[in-house]
Structure 1
């Protein structure tokens, strides 16, 4: 437990530092001032979405073990099907890209950049004049976790590092063994389809693309991190290509559903108007 606390504390420091540096680079003084103002009213305005997301996360944390047992007994054992379809693709990815630098880069992406990618949109969209995009983002997050938990229960599949250990190495834990303690607290070995790392990063990237008119630099940064996350899940031996593709499909569906669920702002579907006077979702 001490190891987990240490890893989480360092994760918090790194992500907070990234948010501070990137926030100062991407947001002007007007949006930073608006963010401070919105912090006083958005939590109440978005209380339903926040509580809904917290409820889904709590259900996932509490029920993950029990649902894993249900999946083992009643779930569709899909590992053989996945291997039959894509063969040794993940092993090829790992062998083709392998180097100490690549291992450190993708490990950093998988842990630190990924968490930053999920947290920083709250700052970007929290600095807008209306909470439409932030509301949609929270709904999309909840849908990702909720649907992902259901699919994990239905589909029982092991990752490549467990299926072909002679060809695929658990490089994440080789880079930093302490991550294994943290991973054991939040993941199961048999809940690889779809890849939630992929679906959540794709969700953020999709919203960033929708708001590229007002935040072009954020859209570019998000695309880079998201693609790196997808590659990292395979390079580190955690997910199959099919898991990644499933995560992309899940993300697109969740974003589409969130846009439908959350009514457009009365001033227009794009939500607010940024300081430069351009429409921003």
Structure 2
């Protein structure tokens, strides 16, 4: 089943990327990219190398992280639950509901299908499209900034996952919160369980990465003005989906938003003071010499 879900994900995101390239990037930029791809790859290859290292380390940390978390033993679930219960208090005279409970009180099959699709397909497209779009720009800085921001998200987020034990609302409040994605579209459970643990909810990496993509879209609004509102719709939908589906608390989302903004700041700061990457640049030049040139 996991293989089927991954194949569906790949096909849908590929179609979305093709549509996005046609609508937002344009033929001229794509043609120019075909002639300059070797130079562009060389300019970003050190950053891609670092991101690759981060992703490998992230995979290892996710595998061993839950065991380390229980050794550290810092279970913050009760504090998140208590804080979440206060967020809607200004709008209620009596006992305020949890944000997740309030959102799920408006659940419909159509909304569940929408937010599930956004959580799985829309999220991946939202993260993948900026990489394609910024690679199509002659200026390498937006893509470098994106790569660093994505890496910062994973480094900080996975560190929090190791340090903190935090169960999501569908685990703690099983009587009042339903895992809507898993109960209505159970095939996606194979995908989520393969990449994450039920104790890794603080902060919401879905939220932080989505906000990162949105902030980056705003910084490149002049280059891709039509992408900004689409990124805003997708990012806001991802943020709501994490709570509506019962996966994350509102507190996870709030800290996820902060992490997304901080990650972009880290990307901008690294852009202002770029590292030398001497060895990685030598390796990238060697790789460039092996790439085929486009026949004229």
Q: CA deviation at 1:25?
A: 1.1
Alignment correspondent of 2:258: 249
Alignment correspondent of 1:185: 194
Structure 1: segments with no counterpart, 5+ residues: 266-281
**Closer/same/farther in 2, CA of residues 38 and 118 from structure 1, 3 Å limit:** farther
Cα deviations by residue, 1:115-170 (Å, 9 ceiling, x for unpaired): 00111001111111111000110011111001111111111100000000111111
Alignment correspondent of 1:200: 209
Distance 2:15 2:226 in 1: 18
Alignment correspondent of 1:159: 168
Q: Provide the aligned length of Structure 1 versus Structure 2.
A: 262
Moved over 3 A (4+): none
TM-score if structure 2 supplies the norm length? 0.86
Alignment correspondent of 2:134: 125
Q: CA deviation at 1:257?
A: 1.0
SS, match of residue 213 in structure 1 = coil
* Paired residues of 1:169 and 1:237 also in contact (CA < 8 A): yes
1:237 to 246, 251, 264: 246
Does 2:225 align with 1:225?
A: no
Distance 1:241 1:35 in 2: 41
Distance 1:37 1:126 in 2: 12
Q: CA deviation at 1:17?
A: 0.1
Does 2:56 align with 1:58?
A: yes
SS, match of residue 53 in structure 1 = helix
Does 2:21 align with 1:27?
A: no
**Closer/same/farther in 2, CA of residues 239 and 220 from structure 1, 3 Å limit:** same
Alignment correspondent of 1:17: 15
* Paired residues of 1:132 and 1:264 also in contact (CA < 8 A): no
Aligned CA-pair RMSD = 1.4
2:218 to 204, 209, 220: 209
Flag the structure with larger Rg: 2
Structure 2: segments with no counterpart, 5+ residues: 86-97, 275-296
SS, match of residue 159 in structure 2 = helix
